Amino acid sequence: MSSGELSSAATRHPWDWYVEESWVTQRLIETLHGPLCGSYDDWFAGDLIWDPCCGMGNVLAPFMELGITVAGSDVQRRTSSPQFLFEHDFLADQSCLLDHWGPKSIVFNPPYSNQNGHKVRGLAEKFIRKAIALHANTVAALLPVKWLASEGRHTLFNEHVPRFVMILCERPSMPPGDVVAALGDNAFKHGKVDFMWVVWHRHVDLEPGETRTIWIEPRPKVRKVRK
């Protein structure tokens, strides 16, 4: 993905740190456990949920509320939340972690193009391939919808066929993490980019073309009461 697809290279956060709202993960969990996802209704059971680029921890918060064990890591500490365990480069060696962790799923909002201010081609794909290679039971990646349309990623989707593509019909706001505090109540308003969850499950074998697309309906509108 080119850096210009979401914002200009000059204005992107140097680590592609963009903050999703927790409702985005809540909708993922609800949809996976709902009737649209077929007979397999035991998603995440017994798994540790790992977000390797956890930022403020918003992806992990809904799992914690359900009593599911979570682990957050990132290349830099960006939160004081207890789910953040350590600073760690996900694309580096993982053997020190895997020796101590049991069954796991990886749920994350991966960076797309920037690492320490430098453009890295195919960065999100590198993260996804690494997550799949670590034998996570479920891999769920939050990505812009336009990420599906790519000659280069055709190979990824044929080698590792997603179980689901879940399109968020409500656009989430995704502000850079370093401006959230300054924006205050306006930080999570007026989303401009369409996002989706792409979900892989290693115990379900699919052929290319068998991926199911699901449209996640918007949250109910809150009616304002006139005073």
CB under 8 Å to 42, separation ≥6 — which residues? none
The lowest-confidence range among 24-33, 91-100, 119-128 is 91-100
179-215 pLDDT per residue, tens:
555 555 655 566 778 999 999 999 888 999 999 999 9
Strand, helix or coil for residue 116: coil
Pairing assessment for the beta strands 114-115 and 118-119 based on DSSP bridges: antiparallel
At residue 96, φ and ψ (nearest 5 deg) are -65, -25
Query: Nearest-CA neighbor of 7 among 170, 176, 147, 196?
Result: 176
Mean pLDDT check: name the lowest of 6-20, 62-76, 102-116, 179-193. 6-20
Report residue 203 CA to chain centroid gap: 20
Q: Which domains does the chain have, with CATH numbers?
A: 3-216 (3.40.50.150)
Summarize pLDDT for 26-72 with one digit per residue, the tens. 999 999 998 888 655 578 888 999 999 888 888 999 999 999 999 98
- Whether the CB-CB separation of 134 and 94 falls below 8 Å is answered with yes
Mean pLDDT of the chain: 80
For the question of whether the overall pTM of this predicted structure is more than 0.75, the answer is: yes
Average pLDDT over residues 10-17: 57
Q: At a CB cut-off of 8 Å and minimum separation 6, what does 30 contact?
A: none
